[in-house]
Amino acid sequence: MRPFMNNRARLLTGAAVVVIAVGGAAFLLTRDGAEPAQAVAAEAEAEAAEAPEGVVQLTAEQMQASGISVVSVERGGGGEVRLSGRVEPMIDARAAVAAPVGGRVERVLVAPGQAVRAGQVLAVVVSGDAAVMRADADAASAAADAARSAYQRDSRLAEQGVVARQDVEAAHARYLGAEAAGRAARARVAASGAPNAAGRLSVTTPISGVVTSVQVGPGGFAAQGGVVAEVSDPTRVDLVFHAPPLAAVQARLGSTIKVQGPAGAFDAVVTGVAAGAGGDSGATVVRARPTQGQPPPAGASVTGVLTTTAAPGAVTVPTEAVQTVEGSAVVFVQTKDGFRAAPVLTGRQAGGRTEILRGLNGDERIAAAGAFLLKAQLGLGDADHGH
Domains of the chain, by residue range, sit at 55-79+312-378, 128-198
Residue 37 has pLDDT above 50, yes or no: no
The pLDDT confidence band at residue 273, using thresholds 50, 70 and 90, is: confident
Confidence of residue 28 (pLDDT cuts 50, 70, 90): very low
Q: What's the pLDDT score for residue 147?
A: 95
Share of the chain above pLDDT 90, in %: 39
Angle, alpha carbons 298-302-303 (nearest 5°): 160
pLDDT surpassing 70 at residue 97: yes
Q: What SS3 state is found at 63? A: helix
CA atoms within 13 A on the CB side of 228: 31
If DSSP codes are grouped into helix, strand and coil, which group holds residue 105? strand
Q: What is the pLDDT of residue 20?
A: 33
Does the predicted model carry a pTM greater than 0.75? no
Per-residue confidence band for 359, with pLDDT thresholds at 50, 70 and 90: confident
Q: Which of 48-62, 119-133, 291-305 has the highest mean pLDDT?
A: 119-133
Span 128-198: which CATH code?
1.10.287
pLDDT digits (tens, 9 = 90+) for 83-92: 889 998 888 8
CATH-assigned architecture of domain 55-79+312-378: Beta Barrel (2.40)
Please report the pLDDT score of residue 381 as a whole number. 40
Coil, helix or strand for 355? strand
pLDDT at 36: 47
Crossing angle of helices 128-159/165-191, nearest 10°? 160
pLDDT tens string 200-228: 999 999 999 999 999 999 999 999 999 99
